[in-house]
Structure 1
Amino acid sequence: MGTLKIKNLLVRSNVGFEPHIRDYQQDLLVTISICYNSLLEEGSDDPKDAIDLNLMVKEIMGRAESGHFNLIEAFTRMILDTVLEEGRVDRAEVEVKKVKSIQFSGELSFSLSGTNG
């Protein structure tokens, strides 16, 4: 069992329900941990045997940029569901950070985890 991690992926989306936030995309930092059976890749060293992270990231970014989310929780759920669409993923965890979203706070973050099966 191996774990792939994508750290601090910069994603732009509309996340928020207050009028001064609703109409503007903001930068969000996303960290994704993907647990899966990696024995095939470990043995073959063949890129076609690997999970296509580029395709996964493009799908996440497309859904994020075209969507609007009132809450960071719903945005995080969308990303987790996108990751779990990859059938080889056994378990995943997603953390989304909104920088400077609360007065006097450095960041706000929310994490979700889920499994396939």
Structure 2
Amino acid sequence: MPLSQAIIKVTNLRLRTFIGFNQDERDKQQDVVINIEIHYPADRSFQTDDVADALNYKVITKKVIQHVEEGRFLLLEKLVADVLDICREHPSVTLARVTIDKPHALRFADSVSLSLEYQA
């Protein structure tokens, strides 16, 4: 039975990192909120019920956490692009979207966000 694309969503992953180019942003970690969406064909994992045939979101999330928490970024664009690269490493990924919010980046806004998308 062929299935449509499976969609994994990681919602509101809250991390802290150095992000920004102002001196205070370079000296103090800030909160970021990461949302990830990954599409991949799940036909094989559906049929076999074998972990080896599935996309392991825990592995991806651990790589994202490590990269974000250990990194230093001047631009939100660089951070989002790096996370997107991690999400699309697995060869079966057909589409990946990453949105990262930087809460309190603007005085009268809840957050500023940037999104990037990859499609195979």
How does the TM-score come out when normalised to structure 1?
A: 0.92
**Alpha-carbon separation, structure 2, partners of 1:76 and 1:35:** 17
Q: Does 1:79 align with 2:83?
A: yes
1:4 corresponding residue in structure 2: 8
Q: Does 1:61 align with 2:65?
A: yes
* Range 90-99 or range 42-51, more displaced: 42-51
Identity %: 30
Q: Which runs of 5+ in 1 are unaligned?
A: none
Which of 90, 107, 111 does residue 103 from structure 1 map onto? 107
Which SS does the other structure have where 2:52 is aligned?
Answer: helix
Which SS does the other structure have where 1:85 is aligned?
Answer: coil
> For 1:88-99, what aligned pairs fall within 5 Å after superposition?
88-99=92-103
What is the Cα deviation at residue 2 of structure 1?
Answer: 1.6
Q: Which runs of 5+ in 2 are unaligned?
A: none
CA deviation digits over 1:64-114, x for unaligned, max 9?
A: 111111011110000001111111111100000111111111110000001
Would you say the 8 A contact 2:8–2:57 is kept in 1? no
1:70 corresponding residue in structure 2: 74
1:46 corresponding residue in structure 2: 50
* Range 95-104 or range 48-57, more displaced: 48-57
* Range 92-101 or range 38-47, more displaced: 38-47
1:32 corresponding residue in structure 2: 36
Q: Does 1:23 align with 2:27?
A: yes
Aligned-residue CA RMSD in angstroms?
1.2
Which SS does the other structure have where 1:89 is aligned?
Answer: coil
Would you say the 8 A contact 1:84–1:115 is kept in 2? no
What is the Cα deviation at residue 48 of structure 1?
Answer: 2.8
How does the TM-score come out when normalised to structure 2?
A: 0.90
What is the Cα deviation at residue 49 of structure 1?
Answer: 2.0
